[in-house]
Amino acid sequence: MKELNARGLDCPKPVVKTKQALEEEDKVIVTVDDQVQAENVAKLAKKMNCKVSTLEEENYYKLTIEKLADETTEDKEDSQGKVYFITSATLGEGAEELGNVLMKGFISTLLNVTPVPNKIIFINSGVKVPTLNQEAKEHLKELEAKGVTILSCGTCLDYYGLEEKLEIGNISNMYEILDSLNSNGVVKV
């Protein structure tokens, strides 16, 4: 068993260090600073086919992670399908108003393409789309209902003060984002 103190580490270091520890050990205890880090570490552990129990203390979280089997439970879909990587609140360069119209049109059109994408990832000012763009949010809810995974960068949401406004999809981290980009056909928008 290995104990890993990941307190004070910025995203995605707690996830990366946990992954490295789980590659060496069958049981790992990880201590992180906050709930978002705890959720990110737990998400990775579950993807690696581990059982996770979380203990919330006054100013930290302690996760006990145990491997269940040698195989990972990574979704088969993760190795197939397109991933749309949206890095801006607007589509294209030029007039912001036009870029907003184009982004709404882009998101709504994704409902009509076959197959729908596997994932849509929002980073930087792109996180404004699933939080502030009301028309796009409605279309994203429909895409999510069709099985599309919607991920928004937690660091970016925090930077823009939008974490509380996220109603669609999940808060993600750089490790999960890069893992998705590395194992799928990526379309940068």
> Which of 40, 67, 94 is where one domain is finished?
67
Is residue 160 over pLDDT 90?
yes
Which residue segment(s) compose the domain that 101 sits in?
76-188
> Which of 24, 49, 67 is where one domain is finished?
67
Question: pLDDT band at residue 183, thresholds of 50, 70 and 90?
Answer: confident
The CATH number of whichever domain residue 107 belongs to comes to: 3.40.1260.10
Residues in contact with 20: Cβ distance below 8 Å, sequence separation at least 6, in sequence order: none
117-145 tens-digit pLDDT: 999 999 999 999 999 989 999 999 999 99
pTM for this entry: 0.70
50 shares its domain with 104: no
Mean pLDDT rounded to a whole number for the chain = 87
25 shares its domain with 118: no
101 shares its domain with 167: yes
Residue 40 has which token pair? 């990110």
Question: Can you say whether the dihedral through the CA atoms of 19, 43, 155, 36 is positive or negative?
Answer: negative
27-36 tens-digit pLDDT: 999 999 988 8
Is residue 76 over pLDDT 90?
no
Top pLDDT among 79 and 55 is at: 55
87 shares its domain with 172: yes
Query: Of 25, 30, 24, which Cα lies nearest the Cα of 52?
Result: 30
24 shares its domain with 91: no
10 Å Cβ neighbour count for 159?
Answer: 13
Query: 3-state class of 171 per DSSP?
Result: strand
85 shares its domain with 51: no
